[in-house]
């Protein structure tokens, strides 16, 4: 079965600490992976995607096909990073599957 | 440019009632989809459409119907609501080509409670 796994439902770090949100996927085809974020009282929005290979708000994510992972990392967390983060996999037939999400809290 | 508009924002139904959640986008996106968001389960795909006249089932399609008669609109119908359909529903759209291809634009969500 094609699926996305985010093993941590909750993650709490202190401001300035590194943060890593884990995402593993299983998919027999060629994956396209995304991270979406939902800040409090805002709409779900794209944070980054693996094909762009860019850093957004200090976050990066590298697709590791050998480990089937797409972990999201930031070296120094900020309070404004507190949000719900979803990893998503786009399958070849155009549907997008999401993980269960990780709620990140950055404490002052 | 309104993006993705969902109505209503809130709805309470009794078991067995029917209703339609509306979704409209003004970005000329080919792809539209409906998700439900439940605590601990993330977003689960209900139905999606890759263009007018074309729809397909996602992970959790039972109890829901969709149609896509125009590019702009993608309504989600609950024919006989059940308490298990209590959830927050999100509509999302994207286009298939260019730099922003396959990036979903989400609506604000519709919170449905079935008593």
Q: Give the total number of structural domains in chain A.
A: 1
How close B108 comes to chain A (CA, Å)? 6
Question: Stretch B85-89: mean pLDDT, rounded?
Answer: 97
Omega cis (within 30) before A79:
no
**Average model confidence (pLDDT) across chain B:** 93
Q: What pLDDT, on a 0 to 100 scale, did the predictor assign at position A36?
A: 96
Measured between beta carbons, the chain B residues lying within 8 angstroms of A31 are none
Residues B105, B92 contacting (CB under 8 angstroms): yes
Cα Rg of chain A (Å, integer):
13
B6 — pLDDT class (breaks 50, 70, 90): very high
Locate the chain A residue with the closest alpha carbon to B40.
A100
What is the CATH number for A51?
Answer: 2.60.40.10
Q: What pLDDT, on a 0 to 100 scale, did the predictor assign at position B85?
A: 97
Domain interval for residue A15: 3-107
Question: Stretch A25-46: mean pLDDT, rounded?
Answer: 91
pLDDT surpassing 70 at residue B90:
yes
Q: What pLDDT, on a 0 to 100 scale, did the predictor assign at position B99?
A: 59
Distance of CA B21 to the CA centre of its chain: 7
Rounded Cα gap, residues B23 and B12, in angstroms: 18
Reduced to 3 states (helix: H, G, I; strand: E, B; else coil), residue A79 is helix
Instruction: Return the residue in A25, A91, A98, A102 with the most chain B beta carbons within 10 A, the one to mutate for interface testing.
Output: A98
A86 Cβ partners below 8 Å, 6+ apart? A6, A35, A36, A37, A38, A44, A98, A99, A101, A102, B42, B43
Beta bridge partners of A87: A35
pLDDT surpassing 80 at residue B45:
yes
A48 — pLDDT class (breaks 50, 70, 90): very high
Q: What pLDDT, on a 0 to 100 scale, did the predictor assign at position B39?
A: 86
A41 interface with B at CB cutoff 8 Å: no
Calculate the alpha carbon distances from A101 to A16, B37, B58, B103 in Å.
Answer: 22, 10, 19, 18
Question: Stretch A80-106: mean pLDDT, rounded?
Answer: 90
């Amino acid at each position: 079965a094609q699926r996305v796994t985010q093993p941590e439902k909750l993650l709490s770090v202190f401001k300035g600490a590194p943060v890593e949100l884990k995402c593993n996927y299983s998919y027999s085809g060629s994956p396209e992976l995304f991270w979406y974020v939902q800040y409090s009282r805002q709409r779900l929005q794209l944070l980054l995607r693996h094909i762009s290979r860019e850093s957004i708000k200090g976050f990066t994510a590298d697709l590791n096909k050998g480990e089937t992972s797409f972990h999201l990392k930031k070296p120094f967390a900020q309070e404004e990073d507190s949000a719900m983060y979803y990893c998503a996999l786009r399958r070849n037939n155009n549907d997008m599957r999401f993980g269960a999400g990780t709620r990140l809290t950055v404490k002052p | 440019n309104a993006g993705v508009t969902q109505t209503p924002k809130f709805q309470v139904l009794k078991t067995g009632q029917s209703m339609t959640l509306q979704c409209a986008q003004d970005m000329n996106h080919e792809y539209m989809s409906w998700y439900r968001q439940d605590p601990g389960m993330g977003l689960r795909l209900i139905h999606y459409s890759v263009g007018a006249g074309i729809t397909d089932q996602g992970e959790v399609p039972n109890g829901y119907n969709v149609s896509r008669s125009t590019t702009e609109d993608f309504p989600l119908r609950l024919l006989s609501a059940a308490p298990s359909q209590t959830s927050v529903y999100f509509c999302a759209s994207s286009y298939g080509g260019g730099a922003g291809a396959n990036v979903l634009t989400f609506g604000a969500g519709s919170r449905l409670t079935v008593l």
